[in-house]
Structure 1
Amino acid sequence: MSVPKQSFTELQYQFAAHIRNPQENSKPADIEDRRMAIYRDLFFNNIEGFISGGFPVLKSITSEKNWLQMVRKFFDQYRSHTPYFLEIAGEFVAWVTNEREPEPWDYPFLQELVHYEWVELALDTSEADLSDVEVNVQGDLLKGHPQQSPLAWSLMYQFPVHRISSDYLPEMAPELSTFLVVYRNSDDRVKFMEINQLTARLLYLLSEDVQLSGRQALLSIAAEMGQPESEQIVEGGLTILQQLRNSEIISGVRY
């Protein structure tokens, strides 16, 4: 009795499963291994190349064995929600954050580091434009609403992810969180600025209420600190706002 041939759909599934994980899934019987090897290497190397380019710090602090194993598991296990190569990095972050099983070698800052590296890539490729928001570039930062650039993201991490390297691999989070603004300036350069908690709170208040003036936001912070009507905090806050505008984190003032 002859064995029935596979349907084309079954063949496709077996072909794809073998490419994703050749150690666990056999190749279609009618395709010679030399030909399958071309597809195995092409697909995996493309994915590994995109992830290497998006997460260079993570790759540099991970052994080659662990790195390739992690990329292989992503390639095998994750079902992408986008067909675009530029969005592979975002899909990798989603997998690491939501689906990946922890490994014994994992760094405690792994999830935060991949997010930080993805932010840099996301801003570098963002189609947002600094001219998208109509503002007075030289407007009064206290009277009007200081408008944050659409290409500036305010972030908080438990670990100082911007300092991670082969020479700095913290095993425990510091007492104080790390506050960063990652932004792309008018020269299309992605940069970061480490900020303190007060500046992070100021940017948050301004992002939550587009009607809030710079002075109102600073007085709100002063009240939270138990120093209502503090002109000293307003003056110090104005200096901070000016620095943020000079760096193009604040685009200008909206009235």
Structure 2
Amino acid sequence: MLLSQTDTFALQQDLGLYCRTGLEAPKTSNQENTPEYRRIVFSIVKDTLKTAFPIARKFVGKKKWKKLVHHFFANHKCKTPQVWKLPSELCDFYRENPFPFKKQFPFLLELLQFEWLEIEVFMMEDADIPRFVPESTSKQKILVGNPEIKILGLQYPIHTKKTKDITEADIGEYFVTIHRNNIDKQVYFNDLSYPFIEMLIQLNEENITLKELEKVYSKYENDKTIAKKITAEFVAFAIENNLILGYK
């Protein structure tokens, strides 16, 4: 007997719920294979998250990680049809929902977000990049930032210290850039203080020259000679590390 569109949708909903929880298997045309279908779906989700969060998984331990993944899969209605984006939804789910071990692992959310951004930046669509040259000339003075970048503010130095060595004494204000190199297309990280973060944001949002960038840094350094020197050193560092591509 053919199912109506409403019946088909209801069956899909029931099958989805069963795959997530393992409870109340719906009546399908191939009933004996329904548990196998759930096993395959959950295996894909489990392996995707395991691959996406190797550091977080090791940090919390296999047992707690298993509970986290099971709870997420059973209680979260996935929004994306793209499996590779599922780690982003786990980050959101963990941030928005209570877990019994949140106090035990105060920086787990930041760790999840950090590991997800590596994937997001690697997989992001190619950005439109204007023509540029590696060095400034009389005609080409406007800095060209790398648009394939994400900036993450942190309370814990998860990007510079091993998780086992991080303590409450490390709480502070940290910033890490996660960018894709426009030459080798690999993802790289940089630990930067806020003044340099503001400089990167400025040159990615508007046309700005080296001299104008000096004005940005002058908010944090009253000595103009020192501000000029540090700005020039940062731009050289940023170009060498592909945070800034060059000049247009």
TM-score bracket for the superposition, by shorter chain length: 0.7 to 0.9
- Which consecutive unaligned segments of at least 5 residues does structure 2 have? 1-6
Distance 2:168 2:31 in 1: 47
CA contact (8 A) 2:199 2:216 kept: no
Q: Deviations over 1:44-102 (max 9, x none)?
A: 110011111111111111222211221122212222222112222222222223x3223
Aligned to 2:215: 219
Distance 1:118 1:205 in 2: 25
CA contact (8 A) 1:19 1:40 kept: yes
Distance 2:241 2:76 in 1: 38
Aligned to 2:153: 156
Aligned to 2:194: 197
- In the TM superposition, residue 184 of structure 1 has moved relative to its aligned partner by 1.7
CA contact (8 A) 2:143 2:207 kept: no
Amino acid at match of 1:120: E
TM-score under structure 1 length normalisation:
0.82
TM-score under structure 2 length normalisation:
0.84
Please state if 1:237 is matched with 2:231: yes
Distance 2:171 2:40 in 1: 45
How much identity, in percent, do the aligned residues show?
Answer: 18
CA contact (8 A) 2:78 2:89 kept: yes
- Cα distance change of structure 1 residues 252 and 38 upon mapping to structure 2, 3 Å threshold: same
CA contact (8 A) 1:57 1:165 kept: no
- Cα distance change of structure 1 residues 247 and 140 upon mapping to structure 2, 3 Å threshold: farther
Aligned to 2:73: 75
- In the TM superposition, residue 21 of structure 1 has moved relative to its aligned partner by 0.7
Q: Deviations over 1:160-188 (max 9, x none)?
A: 121454533x3426253122121222112
The runs of at least 4 consecutive aligned structure 1 residues that moved more than 6 Å come to 29-33
Aligned to 1:3: none
Distance 2:163 2:135 in 1: 42
Q: Alignment partner for residue 132 of structure 2, among 124, 132, 135?
A: 135
Q: Deviations over 1:128-180 (max 9, x none)?
A: 15x72322222259x83322102232332111121454533x34262531221
1:86-105 aligned at under 5 Å gives the runs 86-97=84-95, 99-104=96-101
- In the TM superposition, residue 9 of structure 1 has moved relative to its aligned partner by 4.8
CA contact (8 A) 1:147 1:206 kept: yes
CA contact (8 A) 1:107 1:171 kept: no
- Which consecutive unaligned segments of at least 5 residues does structure 1 have? 1-6
Q: Secondary structure at the match of 1:93?
A: helix
- Cα distance change of structure 1 residues 30 and 148 upon mapping to structure 2, 3 Å threshold: closer
